[in-house]
Amino acid sequence: MDINKTLRHGLAKPVLHLLALLPAFWLGWLVLSNDLGANPIERVNRFTGDWALYMLLIALAVTPAKLLSGWKSLPRFRRMLGLYSFFYASLHLTSYLVLDHQLHWGRIIEDITKRPYIMVGLACVIILTMLAVTSPKAAIRKLGAKAWQKLHKLVYAAGCLGVIHYYLLVKADIRQPLLMAGILLLLFGIRFWHHRRAASSPPKKTSVDRPGHAV
Amino acid sequence: GKALEYRKTGYSVDEPLTDRELATQYNNFYEFTTSKEAVVAEARDFNTSPWTVKVSGLADKTGTYDLADLIDYNALEERIYRFRCVETWSMIVPWIGVPLADVVKKLGPQPGAKYVRFQTLVDEEQMPGLNRINIPWPYQEGLRMDEAMNALPLLTVGMYGEILPNQNGAPIRLIVPWKYGFKSIKSIVGLHFTDQEPKTTWNILAPNEYGFYANVNPDVSHPRWSQSSERRLGAGLFDGREDTLFMNGYADEVVSLYDGMDLKKHY
């Protein structure tokens, strides 16, 4: 079976959409069945925040996965996964503003100006929003490929900010945020290692050995 | 759990009780696990009988006490208190116990005793959380002697008419209603009278975040989050937050303890 062919199959994207929406369906089910536990707002905050971060890490894993596996059709899912991170981050922000603070702007502004984890989280959401807004192909044409690419490098910053935001809000058990940080570092490491290898080997050989694998 | 005999008191709150199910299924008890939802299951087989409490330090009646010798089970009373966690959730619970002050008096603290320190059980066989997280066990908490002698702190052995469930700190815990929940130490095995301010666990872990006093105070933020409001357990998804009360609503009873102290400094 040709993996790349499967990845380009017409059903590949619909299936991935369905998978990426499963957490949202699950959350909707918990809300409707009133099964969010003792602290429902906290639960919704956590759940949406967790999935925003998971989706971001999955989106960031696409290129390293392509580099390691050679499945060159993988990147066609990258934008979509990034947009799902934005989707869950938007739910997360909405949950914070509407459910948790009931749009009580005095409290919200105090939070934003005084709490580092809120500032970091907000910066992350702002980046994800900029990337989502400029994700259509028309935006690439408008901005020019170079500027667009530069802007979209901010996704790495978003990943770091997301993990820092998570780390800052836990009380003592930092295993989970450390795991996320570890995954992020690993993904960066794979890119870095590949860059260096590509840079140190003669360009001709690279192009023969690994066609179409420019990073 | 087993039903307890107790008398009602005037200590109450003008708001509905938190559902028993919520108050007993959403717990911080890191000796078992850091997941509040999972403590119930992890603590299910926790064996709390027999249970002894070691009393030591500057007191006349030091020694190792069986639970029933420390707590007069004929004098149990019910007190409905607000409980405010430092993580900004809160509940209203009918606790059953005896005033800490009565027990302290019985133990005969010496004039030099300025503080009392409490310790939680450490039992690796029974507490699977001990090795999963880097905390210097045993969990320790403390009160200044005049705080301990205040009428409010309750040495608690029950809630909602029954003996304490394991996850809530069976068989004996402290309830100090004007302080953040982490002061209300669970599953107590040690009580030590001392002339030094005891080291307390959260203060050791993060001194800039958790002070020795830990009085509930909406005007003194935790460095990372505001303490001005709270989420009541059982509140619906659209019910929002309640304003947090100074000293958790017990200012009349306790504020004189802190006369002349800067509460921003002694948080």
Question: pLDDT of A24-58, one tens digit each?
Answer: 999 999 999 989 999 999 999 999 999 999 999 99
pLDDT over threshold 60, residue A209: no
CB burial class (10 A; 0-12, 13-18, 19+) of residue A90? middle
Whether B37 and A102 lie within 8 Å, measured CB to CB: no
| Helix, strand, or coil (residue A154) | helix
Q: What is the amino acid identity at position A28?
A: G
Q: What is the pLDDT of residues A68-106, one digit of tens each?
A: 998 988 999 999 999 999 999 999 999 999 999 999 999
What pLDDT does residue A213 have? 40
| A195 contact partners, CB below 8 Å, separation of at least 6 | A215
Nearest-5° angle of CA B43, CA B47, CA B50? 150
Measured in Å, how far apart are chain B's first and last C-alpha atoms?
A: 37
Contact A173/B at CB under 8 A: yes
Contact B234/A at CB under 8 A: yes
| A111 contact partners, CB below 8 Å, separation of at least 6 | A101, A118, B225, B226
Report how far residue B100's alpha carbon sits from residue B145's, in angstroms, rounded to the nearest whole number: 11
Contact B110/A at CB under 8 A: no
Grade residue A203 by pLDDT with cuts at 50, 70 and 90: low
pLDDT over threshold 90, residue A8: no
What pLDDT does residue B82 have? 98
Measured in Å, how far apart are chain A's first and last C-alpha atoms?
A: 26
Contact A137/B at CB under 8 A: no
| Predicted complex ipTM exceeds 0.95 | no
Whether B240 and A107 lie within 8 Å, measured CB to CB: no
Any idea which of A191-195, A200-204, B122-126 has the lowest mean pLDDT? A200-204
Report how far residue A84's alpha carbon sits from residue B144's, in angstroms, rounded to the nearest whole number: 52
Long-range contacts of B120-126 (CB under 8 A, 24+ apart): B120/B31, B120/B185, B120/B186, B120/B187, B120/B188, B120/B189, B121/B31, B121/B187, B121/B188, B121/B189, B122/B31, B126/B45, B126/B46, B126/B47
Contact B243/A at CB under 8 A: no
Q: What is the pTM of this model?
A: 0.89
Class of domain B7-258: alpha beta
Report how far residue B96's alpha carbon sits from residue B7's, in angstroms, rounded to the nearest whole number: 9
Contact A119/B at CB under 8 A: no
Query: Which of A31, A33, A39 would best serve as a mutation to test chain B binding (most B beta carbons within 10 A)?
Result: A39
Q: What is the pLDDT of residues A160-175, one digit of tens each?
A: 999 999 999 887 788 9
Whether A175 and B133 lie within 8 Å, measured CB to CB: yes
Which B-chain residues 83-102 have CB contacts (< 8 A) with chain A? 87, 89
- Residue in A closest to B24 by C-alpha: A38
Cα-to-chain-centroid distance, residue A12 = 20
Chain A: give the shortest CA distance to residue B33, in Å: 10
pLDDT over threshold 70, residue A153: yes
| A31 contact partners, CB below 8 Å, separation of at least 6 | A44, B237
Average pLDDT value over all residues in chain A:
90
Report how far residue B188's alpha carbon sits from residue B142's, in angstroms, rounded to the nearest whole number: 12
Report whether B83 contacts B184 (CB < 8 A): yes
Peptide bond into B223 cis (omega under 30): no
Whether B22 and A102 lie within 8 Å, measured CB to CB: no
Question: Which residues of chain B, if any, have pLDDT below 70?
Answer: none
What pLDDT does residue A201 have? 76
For residue A68, give both structure tokens.
């390691």
What pLDDT does residue A7 have? 87
Contact B130/A at CB under 8 A: no
pLDDT over threshold 50, residue A206: no
Nearest by CB to residue A117, choosing from B89, B224, B228, is B224
Cα-to-chain-centroid distance, residue B243 = 22
CATH architecture, range A3-199: Up-down Bundle (1.20)
Chain A: give the shortest CA distance to residue B119, in Å: 19
Nearest by CB to residue B26, choosing from A38, A99, A168, is A38
Which B-chain residues 161-180 have CB contacts (< 8 A) with chain A? none
Grade residue A208 by pLDDT with cuts at 50, 70 and 90: very low
Closest CA to A116 of B221, B210, B90, B86: B221
Report whether A178 contacts A130 (CB < 8 A): no
Closest CA to B84 of B163, B176, B188: B176
Query: Which of B22, B90, B237 would best serve as a mutation to test chain A binding (most A beta carbons within 10 A)?
Result: B237
Report how far residue B242's alpha carbon sits from residue B238's, in angstroms, rounded to the nearest whole number: 12
Q: Return the domain boundaries, chain A.
A: 3-199
What pLDDT does residue A202 have? 65
What pLDDT does residue A84 have? 98
Nearest by CB to residue B234, choosing from A38, A110, A115, is A38
Please provide the size of chain B in residues.
267
| B208 contact partners, CB below 8 Å, separation of at least 6 | B223
Report how far residue A17's alpha carbon sits from residue A22's, in angstroms, rounded to the nearest whole number: 9
Report DSSP state, residue A212.
Answer: T
